[in-house]
């Protein structure tokens, strides 16, 4: 299991850049202070979101199944206080009940093998979140995908409504289905993904 992005992680030290994702930044309008909050960043990649929340005072556990992602993350952010990086498959993560204030799954869910794995993972992450805590989800969805920039990668493509439904017991603070056009540094192929982004709070 590699997570699907190892070619990129091996080719350059900073595949995803250093700026946090837009809905991670959007948490700032909902949370007065991040100091002391416990954050889990699942599928953290090279750690841009984890490092950002640690810089705000959160205590961040950041895991990724790719050893290459975590190696790059440690070079980029290893000295930052408040963040720890580990190589781990989310399916094997021990998740004590109600233990995190914020869970970030930015780009993780479409990497999983089956619809059932997506559902099980989201349910486990939900159970590990405190009441009143937040989830930040960003994932490819089924509406429109140009995958030629990722020839060996076969993401699972589920409808936007599937993801919304997983959060029907939560308060959905923001949910969008929008296109992202991007170019990766290792092959420079411009391509577009339809992305579901969800910011939700556990009731
Ligand atoms: C699209 S990348 C996003 C990386 C990072 N969250 C970001 O926004 O920059 C998705 C990440 O999920 C990781 N991943 C895929 N399957 C995983 C799994 N089963 N457990 C943990 N991480 C996984 C991949 O290795 C990859 O680094």
Would you say the CB of residue 133 lies under 6 angstroms from ligand 1? no
Question: Do the beta carbons of residue 94 and residue 128 sit within 8 Å?
Answer: no
> What is the C-alpha to C-alpha distance for residues 192 and 176, in angstroms, rounded to an integer?
16
pLDDT in tens, 157-189: 999 999 999 999 999 999 999 999 999 888 889
Which of 18, 65, 68, 141 to probe ligand 1 with, by most ligand atoms within 8 A of CB?
A: 65
Taking the centre of ligand 1 as the mean of its atom positions, its distance from the CA of residue 64, in whole angstroms, is: 6
Percent of the chain with pLDDT over 70: 100
pLDDT in tens, 121-158: 999 999 999 999 999 999 999 999 999 888 889 999 99
pLDDT in tens, 45-59: 999 999 999 999 999
pLDDT mean over 180-203: 94
Query: Which stretches of the chain are DSSP H helices?
Result: 6-11, 22-26, 48-55, 67-77, 115-127, 160-166
pTM above 0.95, yes or no: yes
Banded model confidence at residue 76, pLDDT cuts 50, 70, 90: very high
Taking the centre of ligand 1 as the mean of its atom positions, its distance from the CA of residue 181, in whole angstroms, is: 19
Which residue has the least CA distance to atom 4 on ligand 1?
45
């Amino acid at each position: 299991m590699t997570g699907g992005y190892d070619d990129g992680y091996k080719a350059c030290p900073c595949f995803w850049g250093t700026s946090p994702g837009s809905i991670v930044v959007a948490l700032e309008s909902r949370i007065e202070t991040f100091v002391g909050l416990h954050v889990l960043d699942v599928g953290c990649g090279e750690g841009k979101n984890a490092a950002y929340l640690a810089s705000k005072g959160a205590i961040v556990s950041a895991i990724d199944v790719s050893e290459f992602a975590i190696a790059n993350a440690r070079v980029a952010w290893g000295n930052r206080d408040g963040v720890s990086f580990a190589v781990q498959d989310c399916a094997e993560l021990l998740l004590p009940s109600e233990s995190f204030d914020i869970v970030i799954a930015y780009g993780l869910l479409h990497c999983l093998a089956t619809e059932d794995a997506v559902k099980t993972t989201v349910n486990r992450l939900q159970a590990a979140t405190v009441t009143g805590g937040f989830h930040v989800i960003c994932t490819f969805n089924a509406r429109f995908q140009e995958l030629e920039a990722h020839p060996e990668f076969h993401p699972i493509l589920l409808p936007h409504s599937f993801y919304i439904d997983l959060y029907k017991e939560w308060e959905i603070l923001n949910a969008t289905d929008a296109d992202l056009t991007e170019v990766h540094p290792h092959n420079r192929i411009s391509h577009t993904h339809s992305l579901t982004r969800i910011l939700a709070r556990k009731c």
